[in-house]
Structure 1
């Protein structure tokens, strides 16, 4: 994949806004309390219930989420379902790909850009492959500078600070398709009418740069040292995707990454896990996966490292936890797909797992859970990503991290909060992996892997900015337990 995605984003933003407008017009009368949603469900269409104005979604209360999320209850995987054979069959669930580059002659010329304050200087390039052997410290250090990459023989000195060769322009004036103002919003009539004697309400201002920063520099993923006792909040998520293959009778087995998060309604006894929406739900026109199960601290003692075989007690030291509830964003269920677009701005999910009868909660079992930091100030974030990358050059057996520092912005739809974007070489299987930042001296989850580009230079990943929509879904599932 080419790194010149920004000019493509501009054209896709216009298209995405148009598609979104049509979607919203089609559902403008189908809010949580509207009977037409139930009529659609009776006819076999999904009752998505998106309000005409997406800002209204941020105001949904528990009752609104309950009326919309009618399919949150999941049949738990049968005990013993995930055998070693099935786990090894699971394919890495790839981070969603950025849009394909435009045909030659349609892209804006590249513009040089200086490196950000938390990225390595230009003029260096990381090695293409990554080690998968243990031997690195376990203590997170998000502000620590990653190991120096090998110098490239083809790039210019750092003092010239050129952008990657194919990095698209940042200046709208050189890309005719890139709007400088928000596209026309068919949903604006849903805004409250202006008060007498006051000017009519105006749509929110669109960023002049369409919500995009220069792409981050590549940061090399590093494997964590075994055992993962102090990192047991991170683990692997396995699921069966309907209609994706012949394995298991028309089910395609997949693997992602996920993180144990705190449960406000059950402090100290959480059974909640955070991951990506595309790890548990197919998106537009689809449904939830089946047999969703979480293995915290997978392969903690290296029993499966180097191609070795092991029994469940060795590769799943804290057990295998089947999901019984799940919720993702209305945007992902209504619009989600395989390519980066407006839906990926809300590509997150929360699941609830079930402990064995009479057993301790997941949080008590693994020794902790991380809080979720909603509406986190972007300029205060220094991100460390955790995950189990499984596509080459990784094998899915080692917990890795990227100490990526301050995230930039990436946007496929400028009317939605820009995603967070960081440099990281993790590959398929890292989808859903938690992004942690320090809040009040302790780690908190601020995003998860959604979009990823793991070829060429730069290699990067993007995750949703967790705003009030994410907080509403989280609060709903917390209270349903």
Structure 2
């Protein structure tokens, strides 16, 4: 990381109970209905009532979301359900694998191969129709996965593959604090695209929405205790059909962040994570027993293989989810392969406080506002999460100081995802990406996909546009 990037983050402040006033959606709505014109967009769309033009989702009002999101109410996990034994059984959420190479002559983008005479030079942009090579942060990419083009600013020679990152044996002497000063806006790296005409699909970027891959950034563990970082935590859930012989429950773990609730200032019970952490995607359903543990293992009671009781590894309690909403795109199209649905791989859940108890925000001491439609060139991202796949063990809160994000696209007509360098692995899925807005930290994305072998290692998250704002506004008002 350059000294200029480091200097923009030299000053940090503790997260407060800041609340972002959510800008309401446009007044014209194209809500879901049962007409064939509104249900022919994508596979699975007829059952979900997606509009034929997915851009119309940005215009949905509250009543449109309510008409569509019929399964947002969830039964909360019973008190005491998540025992230590069950927590330790939870595996990093199943991976979203990179797209398979397409046969010659098809319109689907093909996977890049290792650099050679017929492939782009290191650091060059992918040719039109060819995305970069993301995997998913839950497991390392398969050995047969083609190598991604190497950017010019990577730290190792092209002939060398870096050794897997090792979890530091000791914690830093000081806990890095939250960002307090926004970086100066940079000039756009790509020319602006002309606006689409009414009724026409968005203009396709000349480079298919892809920038050169970012350089690898090593994840760093935070100093215990996590008192000042209690908005970050671990999310546990049971996935239907993922157990023995496909008929049981597969316990999974992700990361998540407490976010502000515009309808309940200062008393939020909302948590932001990835869509694939709570919902199976196309043809599937929401997971069960979804529960959030803020500041998991804050006092290092579970570090180094130690055993502990609930009061030690869950200092602020275990919060069961009672409501959840993800994007229509993820529910209609999402699956195990990175594709257009990954551009909308986010979710918002509401957790239930104990009877008569304080809200989640009051309990942990803060909540992060969400920054929708954030100017890309004004962002400098810090990612937080609990990586659990090797070489990590899921017991430590880590962060990546990744700087300005690039763009990564599976579908050029949808907003390019944000992509950053980071070595976090499985379990970091859903972890919050924070940037600075008006001098305070705000959430701008979450971990969705990633690549954790070779060089560079990186992760990507959805760009939070008006579709994300609509889902967030809906769940806020339903509480």
TM-score class, shorter-chain normalisation, is 0.7 to 0.9
Shift in CA distance, 41/361, structure 1 to aligned 2, threshold 3 Å: farther
Query: Relative to 1, partners in 2 of residues 1:369 and 1:175: Cα closer, same or farther, differing over 3 Å?
Result: closer
Q: In the alignment, is the contact (CA less than 8 A) between 1:345 and 1:417 conserved in 2?
A: yes
Residue 245 of structure 1, CA deviation: 1.0
**Given the superposition, is the C-alpha separation of residues 21 and 307 from structure 1 closer, same or farther in structure 2, using an over 3 Å criterion?**
closer
Shift of 1:233: 0.1
Q: Distance in 1 between matches of 2:15 and 2:227?
A: 47
Residues 252-284 of structure 1 deviation map (CA, whole Å, 9 limit, x = unaligned): 000000000000000000000000000000000
SS of equivalent residue, structure 1 residue 255:
strand
* 1:40-71 CA distance string (max 9 Å, x none): 99999983110011111100000000000000
Q: 2 CA distance for matches of 1:116 and 1:383?
A: 33
Corresponding position of 2:27: 27
* Distance change in 2, residues 1:173/1:381 (3 Å): closer
* Structure 2 residue 54 is the aligned partner of structure 1 residue 54: yes
Q: What TM-score does the superposition give when structure 2 sets the normalisation length? A: 0.74
CA contact (8 A) 1:13 1:342 kept: no
1:96–1:367 Cα change, 3 Å: same
Alpha-carbon distance in structure 1 between the residues aligned to 2:136 and 2:336: 34
2:50, 2:328 within 8 Å by CA — same for their partners in 1? yes
Following superposition, the deviation at residue 32 of structure 1 comes to: 2.1
In the comparison of the two structures, how many residue pairs are matched? 477
Larger radius of gyration: 1
Q: Name the SS for the 1:379 alignment partner.
A: helix
Deviation at 1:440, TM superposition (A): 0.5
SS at match of 2:202: coil
Q: Distance in 2 between matches of 1:333 and 1:134?
A: 21
Q: Which moved more, 1:37-46 or 1:435-444?
A: 37-46
Deviation at 1:100, TM superposition (A): 4.0
Contact 2:301 2:312 in 1 (8 A): yes
The 3 A distance-change label for structure 1 pair 175 and 301 is closer
Identify which range, 338-347 or 16-25, moves more after superposition: 16-25
Hey, what's the Cα distance between the residues in 1 that align with 2:414 and 2:14? 13
Q: Kindly indicate whether the alpha-carbon contact (under 8 Å) linking 2:77 and 2:288 is maintained by their aligned counterparts in 1.
A: yes
State the alpha-carbon separation in 2 of the partners of residues 93 and 33 from structure 1: 33
Structure 2: state its 5+ residue gaps.
Answer: none
Contact conserved, 1:9 with 1:411, CA < 8 A, in 2? no
Matched, 1:253 2:251: yes
Per the TM alignment, residue 193 of structure 1 is displaced from its structure 2 partner at its CA by: 17
Counterpart among 412, 419, 422 of residue 421 in structure 1: 419
How far apart, CA to CA, are the structure 2 residues paired with 1:211 and 1:22?
27
The structure-2 alpha-carbon separation of the partners of 1:433 and 1:51, relative to structure 1 and needing over 3 Å to count, comes to same
Alignment match, 1:133:
133
Call closer, same or farther: CA 1:204–1:115 in 2, change over 3 Å: same
* 1:316 corresponds to: 314
Pick closer, same or farther for the CA change 1:196–1:425 going to 2, 3 Å: closer
User: Which moves more between the two structures, 116-125 or 71-80?
Assistant: 116-125
In the superposition, relative to structure 1, how do residues 131 and 191 fare at CA in structure 2: closer, same or farther (>3 Å)? Answer: closer
| Alignment CA distance shift 1:335-1:95 (3 Å) | same
Greater helix content: 1
SS, match of residue 189 in structure 1: coil
* 112 and 44 in structure 1: CA distance in 2 versus 1, 3 angstrom threshold: closer
Unaligned runs of 5+ in 1: none
Offset at 1:460?
Answer: 0.5
Task: Note if contact 1:275-1:348 (Cα within 8 Å) is conserved in structure 2.
Answer: yes
More displaced stretch, 353-362 vs 169-178: 169-178
Which range moves more in the overlay, 244-253 or 310-319? 244-253
**TM-score normalized by the length of structure 1:** 0.74
CA RMSD across the alignment: 14.3
Instruction: Provide the residue aligned with 1:477 in structure 2.
Output: 475
Classify the secondary structure of the residue corresponding to 2:46: coil
1:8-28 residue CA offsets vs partner (Å, 9 max, x unmatched) = 999999999999999999999
Asked whether the 8 Å contact 2:18–2:366 carries over to 1, the reply is no
